[in-house]
Amino acid sequence: MKGMMSLLERAGLISQDSSDASGPGVSDAGQPQESAVLVPPAVIEVRAGGTQLNLDDIYRNEGVSPSVYPAERLLRLVDGLSAMDEAIRMTAINAMDAADESWSIADPVADAEAKVKALAAHSQRLELSLRQLEQETQARVDEVHARQEQAVGAIRKQITDLEALAARELDRAEKETAEFEGTLNAAKQQTSRELDEIKKTSTQLQNMVTQFGALITTAQG
């Protein structure tokens, strides 16, 4: 066991302090000292409609109690031991568990189970919320389409009525124009006949004046 703890210390995963009464592999806080392994933080930002996913908020809202040894800490430890084969990794974790009485492997396991349930419940709420939003959106879209059909129908009816009115106006204008033009043509024809008759009569009279005017002059002389 001591050799394993020394190995973990050399790997930078724990820190042993001989003056610490709590035993090897235990920090001042009574918990294993882990190396600074690159692990995703507790708050994971996921772009989803401009919002941020905060796991801590989810766990708190779902009633997950704080753990003396959170599941994320064990995940970081496992990640830090990823270079080892599984058997050695499990032995190392058991050694750390045995070296610190303030926690046991059951703590992160129970924490993980609680968080899995919390995430499942939150996921169900998200899906339910999405379904409700889909239904509300569809209802509003249907309402928009109905209003659109009603408005467009009314507009098309108005267009049909206006087209019929325009056709009637065109027909009336055409008839009135034909009537006016007919009256004008009749007047032209009548005037032309009268002018021809006047011209004919005038010519006849003028010929008479020319023919008999000389006789009048001779008789007077």
User: Is residue 43 pLDDT above 70, yes or no?
Assistant: no
What pLDDT was estimated at residue 18?
A: 42
Collapsing DSSP to helix, strand or coil, 51 comes out as strand
pLDDT in tens, 51-99: 678 999 999 999 999 999 899 988 888 888 878 888 887 888 888 777 7
The token pair that represents 62 in the structure block: 């779902």
CB atoms within 10 A of CB 122: 17
Q: What angle do CA 132, 117, 101 make, to 5 degrees?
A: 155
Domain layout of the chain by residue ranges: 2-135
Provide the pLDDT for residue 143.
96
Q: Is the pLDDT of residue 171 over 50?
A: yes
The pLDDT value given to residue 100: 75
What string of DSSP letters covers 178-201? HHHHHHHHHHHHHHHHHHHHHHHH
Which residue, chain included where needed, has tokens 């941020």?
Answer: 52
The conformation of residue 48, written as its DSSP 8-state character, comes to: B
Tell me the whole-structure pTM to 2 decimals: 0.51
Ramachandran assignment for 176, one of left (phi > 0), alpha (psi -120 to 50 degrees), beta (any other)? alpha
How far are the Cα atoms of 131, 142, 176 from residue 126, in angstroms, in the given order?
A: 9, 24, 73
Residue 31 DSSP symbol: S
